[in-house]
Amino acid sequence: MRRRRDPAAPRWTIHLFWMPAMALFIAFFALPTFQALQYALTDWDGYSADFNNVGLDNFVRVLTADSLFRNALINNVKFLLVVLLVQTVMSLILAIALMRNTRTSILLRALYFFPTILSSVSVAFIWKFVYDPSFGLANGVLSALTALPRMLGFDVAAPTLNYLGNDATAIYWVALAQCWAHIGQMMVVFVAGLQQVPRELYEAAAIDGAGAFSRFLHITLPQIAPALTIVVAYTTIQSFKAFDLILGMSGIPPKQSLDILSTRIYTTFTNNEYGYAAAESLVFMALIAAVTFVQRKGLSRLGREDR
Amino acid sequence: MPTLPRRSFLLAAAALGAGALTACAGPGSTAQRPGNQPVATGTPEGTVSFAHWRAEDRETFDKLAQAFAAATPGVTVAQDITPSNDYQSQALNRLRGGQVGDVFPTFRGAQFEQFVAAGVYLDLSEQDLVKNYETSLIEAGSQGGKQWGVPYQVVFNMPVSNLDALERAGISENPRDWDGFLQLLDRLRGAGLTPMAWPGGDIGNAGQLFNSMVMNNAPSDDACAQIEEGTVKVTDPWFIQTLNQYAQLRPYFQPNSTGTGSEAVQQLFASGQAGMLVTGSYHIAAVRALGAQFPVDVLSPITTAADAAKYEGVHNATFILGLNAASSVQPAALAWLQFLSDPANAGTYANDTVQHVTVKGVRYENADLNQLAPWLTRRTMLAPRFQFLDLDIRNAVEGSTIEVVGGAQPEQAAEKAQRIIDERI
């Protein structure tokens, strides 16, 4: 017996709306990812006609037997933590300070946003010169700070820091350069979020006797949770992929102290280990997904506080 | 109108994706490449695609291409220039198609080896043009007894010295042993100069000193290749000795040298504040552009006693020119390579680009090229650092030298490097 069509059921043409997006997703994301998986199971060198299937060996090596990958991961986590903390806090402070649409605020917002429009390589070269221990601005400023005590007769030696030459701290200095470049961009996201917070909430809280910090903690922060989620997720992904900055400041391959996951994977490709690099890339992708997932879970709890 | 449930659509999309995935070729290609053969003979005709990365040489090559076209009717040359990083990563696949790069260069080391292995180079061993080159300078283009390419440029990857500064410090000739080199450094320091401007923050340029430091210390000329094979270790006494010598050099570098980039040390040298620029002759043009007026030469530390020193310095041959096996205009491509191998044309290239070349009988007009020209026939070693084909191993070994200059103990730095090498062998 022929089934009667439910008149409320959508017509097949409705599927034409999602199919183009799905086709693009399959062509430009799903297939390359599957192909990366295919490569990751081989020892292909990137150019030979021959290769061997090695099963999960590449993944086992990435996760258990590659100290360079582990070193890059540790560097990347250090980089991420500094950028996440400094960039988020500084951009939020600037956004609160420049939230009003006065002429001065708009001018200052434009100035703080300016580094964002520079290419990462330009930022890298600017900061490479800033950090140069012989001629750089950073040591120049430190030296100038000691000028006054010296004029007053105190025997104060001008401190000179070896910013990128100290393996223990080099990655933190690069992280600060990354913050400089992107604080303005994140500030704009926060400004948009802050301008959406209803003023009545602050007025009611003020009547209830809430102080400034309490208002920030219980009104501002939950209200801007969506903006905060965007900032944190974007900063995280950006920190994992800060390839150009390292390339400009240290060259490829970089010193071990500046090697992060993206530069590590690039070096592996350059070493003609295509299959292994594909495995590294997939682990890298999974790491970003996991970190972003955990962050989103945490931030969504914060967002629920205002309900 | 018929309806199609969403689940059916998703299944169809998944099937489409799986089908496409299955259709995707696996890694690599099963097509066999024709390379590693002699050059095809015939009348030169057509357009020769000359692929390379040296955008700064475009005008000179244009000038040479015009002269070539005038002398060879029916043949023209079109340059296909890509940035060096892109060339490193993409050239092989682009050239294998044969659409570009009838004549092409490779970098020495990993890229050259990769191109030979992939069969892209045609065998030049029997070509007369090879006789135009200084034999000792083109070994980087040979492998397995065959000459696959001809290295065109020569650079000296050893410290550049300020001859005025050396004269002021009372030094008239290059030291012949390690003690003499340390005395030279003391005298430069005594003259109020930074003896060595070294870019320890730029591992690519910092590693050039490694060439001079190991050329006479290493147990064999292929020691770096053996490190990569695991038959020689960086924890062996000769390398620990080398690292100890790096430690001896600590007081002679500029302060915080491990964080200094190459631009800063060029400035230090060009301004006359440093006696030596510890990179290579390829930076001479840059320091001239920064205003350096003083005469320069190159000077390599000899790390052994004078009678134990096998080499006086280091050279490297880059830009290894070859012919593409997939080229459809091989006779024309060969004619272009022959043209570039002529001493007069090579001289045009050398003088216009301020680079030494491997072609014999070239007249150098530039004062700096003339000053350094005698080094073309002196006992110099082909830069050993480029024997490393694995960038991670090279980084680990050269990184250990930077760590030692930064204060690490030689034995600890060597062990750390060896651990990485062991992982990668």
Distance of alpha carbon A227 from alpha carbon B216, whole angstroms: 62
The answer, for A39 touching chain B at a CB cutoff of 8 Å, is yes
Contact call for A165 and B259, based on CB within 8 A: yes
Both tokens assigned to B417: 């490097």
Q: Beta-carbon neighbour count of residue A62 at 10 Å?
A: 23
- Is A252 in the B-facing interface, judged by CB distances under 8 Å? yes
Per-residue pLDDT averaged across A244-251, rounded? 89
Residue B201 Cα distances to A232, B271, B298, B405, angstroms? 31, 20, 22, 11
**Rounded CA separation B153/B48 (Å):** 21
Neighbours of B390 (CB within 10 A): 20
3-state secondary structure of A271: coil
- For position A3, what pLDDT does the model report? 65
pLDDT digits (tens, 9 = 90+) for A119-148: 888 999 999 999 999 889 999 999 888 888
Strand pairing category for B274-277 and B194-197: parallel
B119 touches chain A (CB under 8 A): no
| Secondary structure of residue A50 in the 3-state scheme | coil
Q: How close does chain A come to B191, measured CA to CA in Å? A: 20
Chain A residues near residue B27 by CB distance under 8 angstroms: 38-39, 42, 44, 51, 274-275
| Yes or no, beta carbons of A134 and B24 under 8 Å apart | no
The pLDDT score that the predictor gives to residue B26 is: 55
Query: What's residue B54's pLDDT?
Result: 87
Question: DSSP string of A63-127?
Answer: HHS-HHHHHHHHHHHHHHHHHHHHHHHHHHHHHHHT-S--HHHHHHHHHHHGGGGS-HHHHHHHH
pLDDT of amino acid B1: 44
Residue keyed to tokens 């006054």: A148
Distance from CA of B140 to the nearest CA of A (A): 19
List chain B residues with CB under 8 Å of A12: 1-4
Q: Identify the pLDDT of residue A299.
A: 77
Per-window interface: B 305-344 vs A, CB < 8 A: none
**Residue among A244, A233, A210 at smallest CA distance from A299:** A233
Residue B31, pLDDT score: 47
C-alpha closest to that of B258 among A134, A127, A125: A134
**Cis-peptide, bond into residue A133, ω within 30° of zero:** no
Q: Any CB–CB contact under 8 A between A273 and chain B? A: no
Contact between chains at B419 and A250 (C-beta distance less than 8 A) = no
- Whether residues B392 and A271 touch (CB distance < 8 A) is answered with yes
Cross-chain residue pair B27–A51, CB shorter than 8 Å = yes
* A·B CB contacts under 8 A: 141
Is A65 part of the contact surface with chain B (CB cutoff 8 Å)?
yes
Please state, in angstroms and rounded to a whole number, the distance separating the CA atoms of residues B260 and B189: 19
Alpha carbons B391 and B89: distance in angstroms, whole number = 14
* Closest-approach residue (CA) in chain B for A34: B21
Q: Please report the residues numbered 227 through 256 in chain B whose beta carbons come closer than 8 angstroms to any beta carbon of chain A.
A: 254-256
- Do the Cβ atoms of A31 and B89 come within 8 Å? no
Q: Supply φ then ψ for residue B322, to 5 degrees.
A: -150, 175
CA distance A111 to chain B (A): 29
- What is the structure's pLDDT at B35? 54
- Residue B380 phi/psi, 5-degree rounding, is -115, 150
**SS3 (DSSP) at B109:** coil
Any idea which of A265-269, A294-298, B254-258 has the lowest mean pLDDT? Answer: A294-298
Whether residue B259 and residue A49 make contact (CB cut-off 8 A), yes or no, is no
Separation between Cα atoms, residue B212 and residue B311, nearest integer Å: 9
Interface check for A44 against chain B (CB to CB < 8 A): the answer is yes
Overall average pLDDT of the A15-29 stretch: 91
- Chain B: residue nearest A11 by CA? B3
| Record: contact B118-A164, CB cut-off 8 A | no
Q: List the Cα angle B369/B373/B375 in 5-degree steps.
A: 130
- In single-letter form, the type of residue at position A174 comes to V
Contact: B26, A42; criterion CB under 8 Å = yes
Q: Does B259 touch chain A (CB under 8 A)?
A: yes
CB contact under 8 A, B27 and A12: no
* Mean pLDDT of the A22-45 span: 93
Q: Where are the alpha helices (DSSP H) in B125-277?
A: 163-168, 178-190, 203-206, 208-215, 223-229, 237-249, 262-270
| Beta strand B296-298 pairing with B142-143 | unpaired
How far from A231 is each of A192, A228, A284, B118, B145, CA to CA, in Å? 12, 5, 20, 46, 59
Q: Which two tokens stand for residue B32?
A: 């066999």
**pLDDT digit string, tens, across residues B75-116:** 999 999 987 767 877 788 888 888 899 999 999 888 898 889
pLDDT at residue A258 greater than cutoff 70 = yes
- pLDDT (0 to 100) of residue A1: 57
Asked if B32 and A49 come within 8 Å (Cβ–Cβ), the reply is yes
Q: Is B273 on the interface with A (CB under 8 A)?
A: no
* Cross-chain residue pair B117–A65, CB shorter than 8 Å: no
Residues in chain B predicted with pLDDT less than 50, given as ranges, are: 1-2, 21-24, 29-34
Query: Which among B245, B287, B49 has a CA at the least distance from the CA of B160?
Result: B287
* pLDDT greater than 60 at residue A307: no
pLDDT 10s digits, B349-374 = 999 988 899 999 999 999 999 999 99
Angle, alpha carbons B167-B287-A133 (nearest 5°):
95
Interface contact flag, B118 A47, Cβ < 8 Å: yes
Q: pLDDT-based confidence at A25, cuts 50/70/90? A: very high
> Which of B258, B263, B267, B268 to probe the A interface (max A CBs under 10 A)?
B258
Q: Best of B203, B290, B418 to disrupt the A interface by mutation (most A CBs within 10 Å)?
A: B203
A-proximal residues of B, 197-216, CB under 8 Å: 200-204
Task: Please give the pLDDT value at position B154.
Answer: 93
Instruction: Name the band, by pLDDT with cuts 50, 70 and 90, for residue A92.
Output: very high
Q: Which residues of A touch B255 (CB under 8 A)?
A: 133-134, 160
* Mean residue pLDDT across chain A: 90
